[in-house]
Amino acid sequence: MIKNLLQISRDVASSFELVQGAGGNTSVKCDDGRMWIKASGSLLSDLNEEKGFTVLDYGKIVEHFCGGFVFKANDHDLEDETNAFIHTLANGMSKPSMETSMHAFLGKYVVHTHAIYLNVLLCSKGGEDRTRNVFARKFDGLHWVDYVNPGYNLGIAIADLNLNVRDLNVIFLANHGLIVSGDSLGAVLGLSKEINDIAASDLNLRIEMDDLETVEEDLYFSRNKLFFQFDDAWLKKNLSRSIFPDFVVYCLGKIAFCDSLEELKGSCDKLIFCVKGEGVYYRANRRKAQAMHELLFTQLFVISSVEAFGEVNFLDKNDENYITNMTMEKYRRSRV
Ligand SMILES: [Zn+2]
């Protein structure tokens, strides 16, 4: 089983266009009732035979969700209680992915990605119709989930779909990403990539990412040309809101705008510095800087791509606040 999990995780992790930062997760279910799933806070690319994953009895999660436990969306206490219960199922292994509950209601192989080109459709107003128009003629059995906060809330939403787990299921998550699940590892993986590729060619999109330059210890720099396509007012407006949860986790409220890095260096609590005419600096260790870089440019790319044909659907302020306060998100952020 671990071999299969490693195969799908590495395959997905190798593509920035499918997952950014510590985003995305994968799982494989055994016939004996155990599920192998990515651990919370580890990168998909970190997984190996010894670490980065956890194993648990997923039937217990299904029982928990269906056994009279009262669910209320966006309730931190109920969410913490559910996550604590799921953690106990891991029997001392690493804390499972915050998305473990939704995996329990899906098929043998599950690949959840933050497919960047697909997200252009998913983060636009009227995104459901647009997405169905693009994909309905290509695949059967498409499901759409309106935006819900990740983790426990997404678990409830996926449980409510009442899917037949033997089917190949494709689920579009508004302002979030894609889930593909089914009995065939090849089909699940292939479809995850194909759907993103179709969105890219349908909308004629392509992002060019750059490698971070090291300025000094815990300070990294990007001169990505996308940054120079926008004026200050556009950047400030579009980086003060979020279009998907991971931007809230890694970037929201941590960005400063200045004319020179010296203006802010050392004197402020921000971690990301957009310096006019120069580029973007990240004050963090390499791993976290890389995650912030990927999420910042994903947001810029997705918003500018949506603006080419429609209107951006930003997250609600209440949802941004909810995510900021999620215990699990704090844990995940501390690990990367
Ligand atoms: Zn996700």
What is the tens place of the pLDDT at every residue in 237-264?
Answer: 999 999 999 999 999 999 999 888 787 7
Neighbour count for residue 325 (Cβ, 10 Å):
10
Angle between helices 152-161 and 58-66 (to 10 degrees): 80
Residue 187 domain boundaries: 2-203
Ligand 1 centroid vs 258 CA: distance in angstroms? 32
Q: Collapsing DSSP states into helix, strand and coil, what is residue 14?
A: coil
- Looking at the structure, do residues 184 and 221 belong to the same domain, yes or no? no
SS3 content of the chain, % helix, strand, coil (to 5): 45, 20, 40
User: Do 128 and 101 belong to one domain?
Assistant: yes
Return the percentage of the chain with pLDDT > 70, whole number. 94
Whether 41 and 148 map to the same domain: the answer is: yes
How much is the pTM?
Answer: 0.94
How many residues are recorded in the chain? 336
> Cα(140) to centroid of ligand 1, in Å?
23
- The residue among 177, 203, 229 that closes a domain is 203
Q: How far is ligand 1, taken at its centre, from the CA of residue 217, in Å?
A: 30
pLDDT tens sequence across 86-103? 999 988 888 898 899 999
Q: Compute, in angstroms, the gap from residue 134 CA to the centroid of ligand 1.
A: 22
Phi-psi sector, 133: left (phi>0), alpha (psi -120 to 50), beta = alpha
Judged against a pLDDT cut of 80, whether residue 228 lies above it is answered with: yes
**CA of 22 relative to ligand 1 center, distance in Å:** 9
| Other CB atoms within 10 A of residue 16 CB | 14
83 and 109 co-located in one domain? yes
Ligand 1 geometric centre to CA of 148 (Å):
11
* Cβ density class 19-28: b for 16+ within 10 Å, e for less: bbbbbbbbbb
Residue 160, pLDDT > 80, answer yes
49-70: average pLDDT: 83
CATH value at residue 134? 3.40.225.10
In a domain, 8, yes or no: yes
Lowest average pLDDT, out of 45-49, 74-78, 326-330, goes to: 326-330
CA of 263 to the centre of ligand 1 (A): 35
Co-location of 130 and 169 in the same domain: yes
128-146: per-residue pLDDT in tens? 999 999 998 787 779 999 9
Number of domains in the chain: 2
Distance 171 CA to ligand 1 centre (A): 12
Determine, yes or no, domain membership for 208.
Answer: no
**Nearest Cα to Cα of residue 325 among 156, 151, 173, 157:** 151
| For residue 69, pLDDT beyond 70 | no
